[in-house]
Amino acid sequence: MKFCPNCGSTNIDWVLPQDWSRWTCKDCGYIGPLIIEDGKIGEKIREEYLKKHQRK
Ligand SMILES: [Zn+2]
């Protein structure tokens, strides 16, 4: 499982299928070489992101 380092989403994909060094997140629009592969860290990032973007 892979996670977005910005929002913790698993809805990520390569920017270009032939370029495996760059990822894009379809949820927050992140584009970059970094991706989280540790589920525990991914969940933490997701939690923090949702907390920050919670509507009050
Ligand atoms: Zn994201």
How far does the centroid of ligand 1 lie from the alpha carbon of residue 30, in Å? 5
pLDDT in tens, 19-38: 989 999 999 999 999 999 99
Alpha-carbon distance 37 to 4, whole Å?
Answer: 9
How far does the centroid of ligand 1 lie from the alpha carbon of residue 31, in Å? 9
How far does the centroid of ligand 1 lie from the alpha carbon of residue 9, in Å? 5
Which residues does 21 contact at the CB level (< 8 Å), separation at least 6? 33
How far does the centroid of ligand 1 lie from the alpha carbon of residue 10, in Å? 8
- The model's confidence at residue 54, banded by pLDDT at 50, 70 and 90, is confident
Identify the residue with better confidence: 56 or 7: 7
pTM value is: 0.86
How far does the centroid of ligand 1 lie from the alpha carbon of residue 4, in Å? 5
